Amino acid sequence: MASIKQFQVTFDCAEPERVARFWCEVLGYVVPPPPPGFAGWDDFDRSLPPERQGSAFACVDPSGAGPRLFFQRVPEGKVVKNRVHLDVRVGTGLVGEERLAALEAECARLVPLGAARVRLLPADGFNESCIVMQDVEGNEFCLD
């Protein structure tokens, strides 16, 4: 049986480009080049039928190590907690106050970009501290 080498994470959302650009800022990702024959993504988008314009956007890890993130417009809004979420690993290898300081610094960077802080989950003797956040459309993620 062959192993899977690549995967992408897909987000359902109302405004794909807005959410994608937020995640570019969070993760240091970039917008990939447009398809051949188009000067930019706006040109490509205008070539689509009106009902498909603005319906999808993507971002990629410039190093190629991380998964591609794909954002697709859906008609319904978010109403319940995510069943899957991203952990943004900013405190890896850190413990105690040093870890908490790294998490708080990243939280302070992301809030002006449109993220919302939900709550701090303090270290409990089994897990280290993390901060539960929401992106610009309310999708949960953790600073871990």
65-86 confidence digits (pLDDT tens):
999 999 999 988 888 888 889 9
Full-model pTM? 0.89
Going by C-alpha positions, the residue among 96, 105, 93 that lies closest to residue 129 is 96
pLDDT at 6: 81
- Which residue is it, tokens 């999708």? 139
- DSSP SS3 for 114: coil
Question: Are 26 and 139 a contacting pair, CB within 8 Å?
Answer: no
Going by C-alpha positions, the residue among 31, 30, 29, 28 that lies closest to residue 106 is 28
Q: Which CATH class is domain 86-143?
A: alpha beta
pLDDT tens series, the chain, 144 aa: 677 778 899 999 999 999 999 999 999 999 999 999 999 999 999 999 999 999 999 999 999 999 999 999 998 888 888 888 999 999 999 999 999 999 999 999 999 999 999 999 998 888 899 999 999 999 999 999
Helices then strands, counting H and E runs in the chain, come out as 3, 7
CA distances from 6 to 3, 68, 87 (A): 9, 9, 18
Torsion of CA 61, 67, 69, 74, to 10 degrees: 180
For the chain, the domains span 8-73, 86-143
* Neighbour tally for 98: CB within 10 Å: 11
